[in-house]
Amino acid sequence: MQYSDITYDLRGPAAWITINRPDKYNAFRGQTCEELINAFNKAGWDKSIAAIVLTGAGTKAFCTGGDQSAHDGAYDGRGIIGLPVEELQSIIRDVPKPVIARVNGFAIGGGNVLVTCCDLAIASSSAVFGQVGPKVGSVDPGFGTALLGRVVGEKKAREIWMLCRRYSAQQALEMGLVNAVVEPAELDAEVERWCAEIAALSPTAIAIAKRSFNQDSDSIRGISAMGMQALSLFYQTEESREGVKAFLEKRKPKFR
């Protein structure tokens, strides 16, 4: 596959996968998801690669979720909701390599979910986290909710989804959403240090450990499948459409 929405680079023992849509704050459309799935499969089964880094181009955003300009009752790709997002979330968990989120800016909406799905996360001190689904008539009814509850605790996860607040990198560290926070100029070097440490360890032991962690929460995959079916129906309602319209028109939605 030739990539237009992402870049794929090898840096020492790690593959760096970068969402390359900075003009869209690295929001993903159908094509972006297809390329990410391809890249994770490519890196995940390459025995010379010890770790995979997921990040976004530029300094403003890691990823801001689904591209609302490509959303009209459904997104512009395949899958239940027009995005193969279930496959993307699953491949991050299924590859036998640690996946590190290099969070360089906004990790909002589906971007926040990607951070949740990654094994590890290292954030710039300028990074911002949060959910916007209920603001735009959407939700992630699977790993973005149930797994988030395991990562940061039920009460905090419910707060994140039910209030749609923004959280600083330091707050994300305190709630357990990320592993480390560094200054923006130190972000690459810190990520590379973590990759080097992983590369010095037994790849088979790490793969088994990752699968063991995932086995405990893999029932969420079924929750996600059912939830996405419901979400596809929700996207056809006036309530959901109002959220998208309001976002594109830069006004407050009128849901009620």
The pLDDT tens digits of the residues spanning 38-95 come to 999 999 999 999 999 999 999 999 999 988 877 777 787 888 888 999 999 999 999 9
Alpha-carbon span 184 to 170, nearest angstrom: 13
pLDDT digits (tens, 9 = 90+) for 183-197: 999 999 999 999 999
Residue 99 lies in a domain: yes
Residue 249 lies in a domain: no
Kind plus residue range of the DSSP H or E element containing 51: strand 51-56
Residue with tokens 């955003």: 61
Residue 192 lies in a domain: no
Structural domain that includes position 155: 6-185
Residue 67 lies in a domain: yes
Number of domains comprising the chain: 1
Q: What is the CATH number of the domain that holds 109?
A: 3.90.226.10
Residue 231 lies in a domain: no
Residue 151 lies in a domain: yes
Whether residue 19 is predicted with pLDDT greater than 80 in this model: the reply is: yes
Kind plus residue range of the DSSP H or E element containing 72: none
Residue 77 lies in a domain: yes
Residue 148 lies in a domain: yes
Spell out a b/e string for 66-95, using b for 16 or more CB atoms within 10 Å of the CB, else e.
Answer: bbbebbeebbebebbbbbbbbbbbbbbbbb
Q: Provide CB contacts within 8 A for 56, sequence distance 6+.
A: 18, 19, 22, 26, 62, 63, 104, 105, 111
Alpha-carbon span 57 to 36, nearest angstrom: 14
What is the pTM for the complete model shown? Answer: 0.94
